[in-house]
Structure 1
């Protein structure tokens, strides 16, 4: 029988609502859906930097990809636009069901931490501003590793800090590339689709242990699957 895993939550889009950025993209490009293209390119180039051994923080890369998107679409992106993007990312609200889902997991004794591509904040984090910071025993940024998810180093630093093997962790994310990253190391994965993502059905690729359309349903599934087991290794 598997022991109850420590839940490692992704932050951006998983807990915080990325659609908060749509109005900015609608203003800049006349089409809020450009935000999805920008975000996909942001993830692509974060992984490119990791694979090539190059370095940037996630916020600076986000602004650079916004500039690139503007160049492609013939839209002038100013320094002020880049600042507005950073401010919007830092003020993303929680998904409506996030707090109730986290409270449900906390009440059933789950240990919870976060792992984000975003750099550490000098002041309150976006998670704190969204009212969710208190549900987690600690928050991790990939920045000390010099890599972005899904590089193995990013998950290993969490396992090392918590003094457990990766198999005792479950990565909770809205992105299947993130759950695959943890599962490739022997950990578990839980996917919340939020109506915009789906598992990758490909031979040889690990499938999430749990899948749900929203955080509330995913939390309930975790309690059913692992909630009555003793925590620990």
Structure 2
């Protein structure tokens, strides 16, 4: 089983970068997510291109890459929250500074298209968080159970899960392994690359997707 590095817990006053490595976001969602982050005692930092628009993307590939690279390499940033998914994160993974990221691991947060970035972190043996982004923070606030779980993990308290078997196809039991997963379409497209999550041994796999064509 591959050794996994967990980023250090966040402390009071730590800075969380907000990046948009894929599609553009309604800026009001970022504006409304900021006070939720601040309510936890952390300092949100909106990266230069996070609120931009370039076609369907938040910015050019170079601008998105610069934002993400700066956030991952800045020693004063202790977590990186993606504002949303969409499409575009996969454009960046081959150009991210692997050695610098490994030298100072920090939490990467997001889901959907952000699964490409989780695959990058996984390839380095660094844990990352398939968790709430700006929209969920903005719309559901600090008291939402999913957001509370995210905040607890960032503080160093890892959750446990007990899932009821509510379908005949579910088989109750226990398993031990490392948890890998993310968006089915994104992870499927990375099969056979250095970022292939399906290549891990002793993995407990989770998948999410919605409204994807049957192919």
TM superposition score category, shorter chain reference: 0.3 to 0.5
Q: Whose strand fraction is larger, Structure 1's or Structure 2's?
A: 2
More helix by share: 1
TM-score by length of 1: 0.31
Query: Which structure ranks higher in relative contact order (CA pairs < 8 Å, sequence separation ≥ 6)?
Result: 1
Q: TM-score, normalised by structure 2?
A: 0.33
